[in-house]
Structure 1
């Protein structure tokens, strides 16, 4: 008899929260994202709610956003090791660049965190876009999109080979889960291919059920082409949540969050997503769809460009309306409502097969996640959609993923592809 399909939930601890002005909400300390207690506290709340994992975003560079909101203040492997020491079951997913990390060193570092956490680690494989990261490594410009993904495939294969202890690779500690879970975020053609080749969990930015189903079909096709089983790939779209005890309370909280977004921050984020400077645009003018390049020609993150382009095509918004839709640059689907309404949304996507769960991105941290954990999760449990207790101890156990056998081929020694 087949195992019952289970809903999966992670929480993205994106410093102060997903909204551009989240650090300014009255109930939270605006400097909390610079303390270890902030991240450990959210992780403990997530574990108490029986979530699958905490998720840390990161990039290997310093951004100018610090003028308008807190940044990611701790390197993920260091922070996850601390969270591991103060929790018992919650999974630990960290973002580590395939573009700017050495494969053998990264494999050893991640294996160490997996060992100290007793098999709770996941690696979010990303290709790093943007001039800031390139400059941090002494480069004049970011590598070309396809080159980044070619390197990502090579680095991932080498890391897996190292974890498997294959000939010519360094030895790493054995893991109770076989090897860390491989997570990937990217919906471009290159990103979908990488997902089909390696990913066990995929973090997407789908805005509609139709987009989500189309993406799943594409990933399934790529997974089959690489000799993998599609049911061993969990798709978890990002979901930004604004929770209120009533519809009016939720709407008022969303209004406040919109007001708190620093306009220069929101415009800079949108400029990066669209690929041109918006600092002098008329905010109430419509976004000129006919001047935007095709996704394949866009620089930077094609995933977020496609997401923004889809909103513009559907809604034909002004710049001001687009900024509001994006939550000041958040970029993921935002759901505003009562716990029951947010649970309805989650249940609808899950039961339709559009998602296997969600990477939850609360509006503001920690308060917004407290609302989700204390009100939405119990509603999902009442509906029989989400666990009330952990059935295992590793991240693979939580996600229902099998142990992975070692690769049979030895990965080549890498040389930079740019």
Structure 2
């Protein structure tokens, strides 16, 4: 079985305090040449794709805030790379379908068929306040809007037939207008006439990714996503999730790839890797972590002693959470275990918001990847280096060759289109 590896390119790294690490080039987080260097490292490692998220960070005082706009950035990376897929987040809560469909079609043309869309339903009231809203839509409303949004976007991408451009100099016709179609959509959330003002892109439509794991998120992914980025704590839960997603997608006549997040911490020995992890835990900014976890769980933890048991009695019920329910349920599930302290939950949040953390030698990290894949828990992994650039270079230089020797990963690029690579 050939696995898939996507690089989650979140600078300065996937640990909350990565920017404090002595090997982190945190001063370059708005330097496009730095992003290009990292994308080329991932491409040298033959990774399937690179993913750039888009989010409104909670507090900028103790952590890097914001970042370059993903589609603008990936258009630049497209010109400096040849093979690697380019996936960007685009919110269905605040974009308009025509606007987003045009941008992703442009990226697909610019990259020669390597564009991917991470479909998100934004879940922060602070983000809503930047888009002419005093409150965010409810969880149900966000997914209803997303459903209609994707329907309209797909129709816009299909509004030009493959052979609509005829370049007939004799007749003076650049296109055949009968092969370009109006959309004429009028729904609850959108009214779009169409057609799109750019011809059909190389993939027909971008490769689509989704990450929500609530009931609404899973149902949405089964209908639309080509791949799912997911948070899974162990092989058993991962296998259960992947089996469910494959069953749901099959009910719609589709297939879907499941890529859990993985934070690899590579050491020449296990002791060295464990020490690297301890160093990162020791760097964590407690005030930032307390505020961030309080926001995600909708409970004020700022006065709690770090060594005290986590106050699970103060947690609101999951169905009252209008923000990210996936993260809420993951973190609160761990917080309810015996002996878990406030500090334990903060450390969990600090390492990639609860994704799988594997400190170890290259052999051990390759073992974990192989075990998950052979156990049916993953089709590959969303690689989330705790610190850039060292976490990426260690993975590409040390772990990827191990996977190749085991016959688990490609030794050269083949497919040109991103969707074909994930098929």
TM-score normalised by structure 1 residue count: 0.90
Structure 1 residue 69 corresponds to structure 2 residue 63: yes
CA pair 215-306 structure 1, distance change in 2 beyond 3 A? same
Deviation at residue 142 of structure 1 after TM alignment: 1.3
1:266-285 residue CA offsets vs partner (Å, 9 max, x unmatched): 11221122111211111111
The residue aligned with 1:218 is 244
1:94-114 residue CA offsets vs partner (Å, 9 max, x unmatched): 011010000111101110011
Deviation at residue 176 of structure 1 after TM alignment: 2.5
The residue aligned with 1:113 is 107
Moved over 4 A (4+): none
**How many positions carry a matched residue from both structures?**
391
Q: Secondary structure at the match of 1:150?
A: helix
The residue aligned with 1:89 is 83
> Contact 1:266/1:328 (CA < 8 Å) preserved in 2?
no
> Contact 2:6/2:47 (CA < 8 Å) preserved in 1?
yes
Q: Bigger CA drift: 308-317 or 173-182?
A: 308-317
The residue aligned with 1:324 is 347
The residue aligned with 1:278 is 301
> Contact 1:15/1:71 (CA < 8 Å) preserved in 2?
no
RMSD: 1.5
Matches within 5 A, 1:235-254: 235-254=258-277
The residue aligned with 2:164 is none
From 180, 205, 225, give the equivalent of 1:179.
Answer: 205
From 289, 294, 304, give the equivalent of 1:266.
Answer: 289
Structure 1 residue 340 corresponds to structure 2 residue 340: no
Q: Bigger CA drift: 292-301 or 178-187?
A: 292-301
1:130-176 residue CA offsets vs partner (Å, 9 max, x unmatched): 11101101211111011001111111111111111153232333232
> 5+ unaligned residues in a row in structure 1: which ranges?
401-418
Bigger Rg, which one: 2
Deviation at residue 6 of structure 1 after TM alignment: 1.8
Structure 1 residue 57 corresponds to structure 2 residue 53: yes
**Distance across 2 between alignment mates of 1:314 and 1:37:** 45
Structure 1 residue 15 corresponds to structure 2 residue 30: no
From 35, 40, 45, give the equivalent of 2:41.
Answer: 45
CA pair 64-326 structure 1, distance change in 2 beyond 3 A? closer
**Distance across 2 between alignment mates of 1:45 and 1:290:** 46
The residue aligned with 2:163 is none
TM-score normalised by structure 2 residue count: 0.89
1:70-125 residue CA offsets vs partner (Å, 9 max, x unmatched): 13421111000000000000000101101000011110111001110000011000
> Contact 1:391/1:397 (CA < 8 Å) preserved in 2?
no
**Distance across 2 between alignment mates of 1:339 and 1:314:** 31
**Distance across 2 between alignment mates of 1:92 and 1:284:** 42
From 209, 219, 223, give the equivalent of 1:197.
Answer: 223
1:5-45 residue CA offsets vs partner (Å, 9 max, x unmatched): 32000111111000011111112222121211221111000
From 287, 306, 320, give the equivalent of 1:297.
Answer: 320
> Contact 2:112/2:417 (CA < 8 Å) preserved in 1?
yes
From 152, 157, 162, give the equivalent of 2:156.
Answer: 162
CA pair 251-392 structure 1, distance change in 2 beyond 3 A? same
Q: Secondary structure at the match of 2:354?
A: coil
From 353, 372, 397, give the equivalent of 2:395.
Answer: 372
CA pair 314-211 structure 1, distance change in 2 beyond 3 A? farther
The residue aligned with 2:134 is 140
The residue aligned with 1:233 is 256
> Contact 1:268/1:279 (CA < 8 Å) preserved in 2?
yes
> Contact 1:261/1:328 (CA < 8 Å) preserved in 2?
no
Deviation at residue 64 of structure 1 after TM alignment: 4.0
Deviation at residue 319 of structure 1 after TM alignment: 0.5
